[in-house]
Amino acid sequence: MKHFIFLMLAGLSFNTFAHTQSGVLAVPVSTVDYYYVDCGSDPSSVSLYFHIASSAAAGMPLVSAQVIKDNYASNFTDPINGDAGWSRDQVIYGGNGLYSISVNKNGAGVVSYSFEAHCYDSSGEHTDSENIIQVN
Amino acid sequence: MQKMAQKLVLPFIFFSVFESAFALDSGTQSLGELDGATDYFKITCAGNTDHLDFQLFESAATVLNTPLAKPTLIPPQILNATLTKLKLTAKASGIAAGINKDVTLKGGNGSYTFTLDTIGTNLTLKTAQTYSVQYQCLNTTGKVTVGSSTLTKSGIASISKTLANSRTVKYLFNCAKDKINGNTDSLKITVINKTPIAKTVVTTTVTTDPIAAPISSGNLAAQVIKGHVAMNTIGDILNVHDDRSGGDGYYSVMVNSPSNKVQSYHFQYSCLNTSNLEEQTSPFQLLQDQ
């Protein structure tokens, strides 16, 4: 019964938590959008999958994101604005808990973006975590 | 990548230059070629810190925005004196500011040519040198004989003259037989270099300090996070102020390159109170060096 409930929740989470977050960075180069991705609500979560894409026009600043967990940080940049491609993607094995995401750009101008973040367990299965919290 | 240096920059230098103090602490790092490379630091502010000022510099150039003064003795300005009569020559070289030197030539009665030049002087000092000349024609026992010159009378210092760098000046002196002391044996000329001694004994020297010009190329970016506040810079000074949790505590700093450019860089930071005065700024803690 216990396993059945877990599988039901797991199946629900697969359908519900395909998390994509969109945002718009304002003109100043100092602007950063800051998020938490919660991989802690499911104790089995051990990693976070992440990538980001910019929908800005060519010639606009490049959009980057930094994923931070404890003493680890990594940068993700979409090298081409406005195309269908994403930044590199990476599974970050930072363990259970909150992952911080900061989104910045390398110049002044309004740019829009979206990123995907998914929490996984040790066997590579999607967990029912990854609630995205916008900090600022 | 390899940590290159971490040091304290003397705060009084900056206090003396800027009313709003900045950059008590600084560091120099290099970002490597790893895809997504990010250097990650923590800065701790204490006391009554209100905000953190942070600035990122590209370190590729050796251009300095804060040249440091390095004590160096300035070579003196000098005059050289040459006294000639036919094939006879006597010299007195390197007559520095504030120094008197004699030049004597045993040429007997007749006309002498006296030359002053500035060969070997310190050309970084542009001020013309000031000098005065005094002369006497003397017999073999050192008694004064007859002398004449358009410059001054025998035994009396001339009025002050000036000589610019790389210039030469010549004067003529005549010595003759004296009714009492007999023939002239030699002409003695005293050169008095009246040029003020350079008071500045320190020159500003460009050092190899890694401080460089602020970047604006967008090849590097730094993010500073405190509490719910997150800011980004590609060279401008960031003023990171967290009005919810206050200025004390940890600031997270990340440096990365959107183009994955291998790049050394320098950064400066300072914990400041509401009056922009220095509070307790600690050396940064390097959490990740990529």
Closest CA in chain B for residue A76 = B36
Residue B130 maps to which CATH number? 2.60.120
Domain termination site, one of B176, B200, B224: B200
Q: Are residues B213 and B195 in the same domain?
A: no
Mean pLDDT confidence for B46-71: 67
At residue B216, the pLDDT reads 64
Name the token pair of B199.
């008071």
Question: Residue B225: is its pLDDT beyond 70?
Answer: yes
Q: Is B113 within 8 Å of B175 (Cβ atoms)?
A: no
B228·A30 Cβ contact <8 A: no
φ, ψ for residue B56, nearest 5 deg:
-110, 140
Which residues, numbered 95 to 114 in chain A, qualify as contacts with chain B under a Cβ-Cβ cut-off of 8 Å? 100, 102, 104-107
Q: Are residues B138 and B240 in the same domain?
A: no
Q: Are residues B95 and B194 in the same domain?
A: yes
Question: Residue B172: is its pLDDT beyond 80?
Answer: yes
Q: Are residues B48 and B100 in the same domain?
A: no
At residue A26, the pLDDT reads 96
Residues of B in contact with A100 (CB under 8 A): 225
At residue A10, the pLDDT reads 39
Which residues constitute the domain of residue A60?
2-134
Q: Are residues B31 and B143 in the same domain?
A: no
A77·B37 Cβ contact <8 A: no
Q: Are residues B52 and B109 in the same domain?
A: no
Which residues constitute the domain of residue B254?
5-69+209-288
Question: Residue B231: is its pLDDT beyond 90?
Answer: yes
A32·B230 Cβ contact <8 A: yes
Q: How many domains does chain A have?
A: 1
Q: Are residues B95 and B125 in the same domain?
A: yes
Question: Residue B44: is its pLDDT beyond 60?
Answer: yes
Q: Which residues partner with B136 through β-bridges? A: B188
Mean pLDDT confidence for B96-120: 92
Q: Are residues B241 and B263 in the same domain?
A: yes
Q: Is A95 within 8 Å of A37 (Cβ atoms)?
A: no
Residue A90 maps to which CATH number? 2.60.120.380
Angle at B172 between CA B169 and CA B175, to 5 degrees: 150
Closest CA in chain A for residue B54 = A30
Q: Are residues B258 and B195 in the same domain?
A: no
Residue stretches of chain A with pLDDT short of 70: 1-18, 129-130
pLDDT band at B213 (very low <50, low <70, confident <90, very high): low
Q: How many domains does chain B have?
A: 2
Q: Are residues B65 and B85 in the same domain?
A: no
At residue B137, the pLDDT reads 97
Question: Residue B268: is its pLDDT beyond 50?
Answer: yes
- Chain centroid to CA B75: how far? 13
The helix/strand/coil state of B145 is coil
Residue B60 maps to which CATH number? 2.60.120.380
- Is A34 at the interface with chain B, CB within 8 A? yes
A29·B232 Cβ contact <8 A: yes
Over residues B124-136, the pLDDT tens digits come to: 788 899 999 999 9
